[in-house]
Amino acid sequence: MTVAERKLMAETWLAASKGKLKTIIHVGAIALRDAQELAAHAESNGADAIAAIPSYYFAPRTPVELATSLQSVAAAAPNTPFLYYHNPAITHIQMDMSVFLTIAKTHIPTLCGMKYTGSDLSGASRCLLDHGLEFEIMWGPEDVLLGALALGMKSFIGSCYSFAAPIANRIIEAAEAGDFEAARSEQKKLKKLKDLAERFGDPVSTFKALTVIVGVPVGPTRAPLRALNAKEMQRFQSTLQEEGCLKWLTESD
């Protein structure tokens, strides 16, 4: 998306969610100045918080470099809480996030936490143990939501929740009630849905398709990603039906 499109999307979401939801606007961009512009725009439009991945073409190589680069983004929205979005599968920036948080809090006065979308529960657990009283550590990967709950995570952001939030809620409720058999049963459903979607193409495209199936017309993906065509969509829905997954998407809490 262009900067102008991202601004319009932020404005639209903030207007729709006002008084209903807390809204975090992602402002990360390859170009640092674009990220700063988006951060300032988000603050001026009343975002509850901003989040950012770093510029990752010429990427920071150490926790100090990462904290310094993000400092200038957060400074463009000096009155808005800032979260770091740790997503090494996309950014290829892999380092000890607990060390980063120790350094970043001296660089970024508005730092309030991070979304941890690394694949390692061990690294997220270290962040939670070292910084959980000071920062909000939000877990990303939905297919190990139950594992994150067992470690003490309380906040979750994931793409699958656009179409499978009731399943995730049941995992959380069952775990909090100590019913881990029920929690594991629901986790298997979420894992199966995610794995099946990834078999049919790029996750962004198939997750959008699933969101359409549950009644939210979010539209297709753009190039270089490819949306499912009508025949693929039909085959995808048929497979979901055959595997017993389609009914999970319509079950309410």
The residues annotated with a catalytic role in the active site are: 85, 115
Q: Which residues in 194-229 are b (16+ Cβ under 10 Å) and which e? A: bebbeebbbeebbbbbbbbbeeeeeeebeeeeebbe
Closest among 9, 16, 69 to 41, alpha carbons compared: 9
Considering Cα of 216, then 218, then 219, then 225, what sign does the dihedral take? negative
- 51 phi, psi to nearest 5 deg: -135, 155
Write a three-state SS string for 13-27. Answer: HHHHHCCCCCCEEEC
The strand ranges marked E within the chain are: 24-26, 49-52, 82-86, 111-116, 136-139, 155-156
139 and 153 in contact (C-beta within 8 Å)?
yes
Residues whose CB falls within 8 Å of the CB of residue 113, separated by 6 or more in sequence, listed in order: 83, 84, 135, 136, 137, 138, 155
For residue 115, what are the β-bridge partners? 85, 138
- Rounded to 10 deg, the angle between the 32-44 and 63-75 helix axes is 40
Distance CA 80, CA 190 (A): 33
